[in-house]
Amino acid sequence: MSDDLPSIRLKPKMDPRRIRFGYPWVYDNELVMDRRTKAIAPGSLAVLEDAGREPMALVAVTPGSRIAGRVLDAPGVTALDQGWFRARLARALALRERLFDQPFYRLVHAEADGFPGVIIDRFGDACVIQPNAAWAETHLEVLVAALVEVTGVTCVLKSAGGRARVLEGLDDKDAVLVGTAPGAPVPVQMNGATYMADLTGGQKTGLFYDQRPNHAFAARLAQGARVLDVFSHVGGFGLACLAGGATSALAVDGSDPALSLARDGAEAAGLSDRFETRKGDAFDVLTELGEAGERFDVVICDPPAFAPSKKALDAGLRAYERVARLAAPLVAEGGYLGLCSCSHAADLEKFRTACIRGIGRGLHGTGRGSQLIHTGYAGPDHPMHPQLAESGYLKALFFRL
């Protein structure tokens, strides 16, 4: 242990075993928050000690955050040099290269890849990084240098729009860190479809890789089907279903730029003649389609996080139930309904309960029932930290009605 690093200490009544067995977060109410600890600069490294002053881990400290400490390594490690980042990035890259033939994937999935609060998505020769924790912002230069060294990418962009950055006291300024930003959206091939990723003006990093396996499952259901893709973003489920043999797909989203990218993706894959878009509030459009008596063989709803925190959980679950209630009547007899959640605060059981309740309300009086046929999660380039439920945020439920 280095004398250069400050130490932070668990309160006497706090059981250290959770941290010793691999839990990656230390909450502010678990620590002795004395004047010295509160004075540690956000993003600084420190040694976490148990109540008996036995070193437990190297942590990154943000005293003003609910997550006051993020476990980075064993207590004998005293600095994060380029070699430290290089080793972890190489390990992350080895998994993705085993999984995917082309360099389009999530390269770093935060805690599960040993980079607490850090997201890195790869788009060929470009990477988009979200340093959502203060320690990553502090070490950004060396992290980026190691990223270029390990992957050979020629462009690295910083996306600073994450909600977590506000909680860490960080700015919201995007930046080009290496090379030149792409002058046009980057085409990404997944499941036979082409998606246009806007790396500078799109949501998050420009594209959501996490739904890749769920897109593939939906496409299996969509052969010869009429598809409705609600909260479609750049055409995620709709384009995958068309590539899988759907006869038509209608993509609904509230964003003109997202729908424009969806249309460009359809054109790039030669699917434009079977693809339509409709701009509008999803709840309004679902209501209007229901009132018009529209029916689809496959309906998929992939909304944003309605429950991004525990405080928003009840309202979020009501919103998920409402989506299911409005969507279920739009599904033709014997058709399929896919309902998704990216809210980590709404666990699988709560989300499933809300969906089933909504379907029941939506089909009430029709004599129809439902079967839950598949539960999907994020793809393997979004590994789950075994002790951090939040890292397994994505749920996709598929019903036959």
pLDDT at res. 194: 97
- Choosing from 127, 241, 342, 355, the catalytic residue is 342
In a domain, 371, yes or no: yes
Chain centre distance of CA 29: 27
For residues 292 and 278, give the distance between their C-alpha atoms in angstroms, rounded to a whole number.
Answer: 15
Q: Are residues 213 and 112 part of one domain?
A: no
Q: Do 253 and 318 sit in the same domain of this protein?
A: yes
Which one of 126, 160, 178 terminates a domain?
178
Q: What are phi and psi of 72, to 5 degrees?
A: -110, -40
The answer to whether residue 2 sits within a structural domain is no
**Do 159 and 234 reside in the same domain of the chain?**
no
Q: Is residue 370 part of a domain?
A: yes
* Same-domain pairing of 171 and 190: no
Q: Which domain holds residue 217?
A: 186-400
Domain CATH number, residue 34:
2.30.130.10
Same domain, 67 and 106: no
Task: Respond yes or no: is residue 241 known to be catalytic.
Answer: no
Domain count, the chain: 3
**Mean pLDDT of successive 10-residue segments in the chain (401 residues)?**
79 93 95 94 95 95 93 92 97 98 97 96 97 95 98 97 81 95 96 96 86 98 98 97 98 96 97 97 98 98 92 96 98 98 94 98 96 98 93 95 98
Do 59 and 98 share a structural domain? no
Whole-angstrom distance, CA of residue 126 vs CA of residue 129: 10
Asked, for residue 1, whether it belongs to a domain, the answer is: no
Task: Decide which of 134, 155, 178 is a domain's last residue.
Answer: 178
Find, among 331, 344, 345, the residue nearest to 398 by Cα. 331
Return the pLDDT at 33: 94
Domain of residue 202, CATH code: 3.40.50.150
d(CA 206, CA 305): 17
Whether residue 301 sits in one domain with residue 338 = yes
Position 2 scores a pLDDT of 46
Torsion angle, alpha carbons of 341, 241, 188, 100, to 10 = 80
Buried b (16+ CB within 10 A) or exposed e, 214-247: bbbbbbebbeebbbbbbbbbbbbbbbbbbbbebe
Query: Residue 395 carries which side chain, given as an amino acid letter?
Result: K
Pair type for strands 55-61 and 44-49: antiparallel
Domain assignment of residue 357, yes or no: yes
Q: Is residue 327 a contact partner of residue 286, using CB atoms and an 8 Å limit?
A: yes
Could you write out the DSSP letters of every residue in 179-230? S---SSPEEEEETTEEEEE-TTTSSTTSS--TTHHHHHHHHHH-TT-EEEEE
| φ, ψ for residue 98, nearest 5 deg | -75, -30
Give first-to-last CA distance, the chain, whole Å.
61
**Shared domain check, 202 and 53:** no
My answer on whether 375 and 227 are in the same domain is yes
Tell me, yes or no, whether 232 and 371 share the same domain.
yes
**Rounded distance between C-alpha atoms, residue 125 and residue 108, angstroms:** 16
- Give dist(CA 223, CA 133) in Å, integer: 43
Which of 34, 49, 73 finishes a domain?
A: 73
- The DSSP H or E segment spanning 340 is strand 331-341
pLDDT at 166: 81
The verdict on 62 and 152 lying in the same domain is no
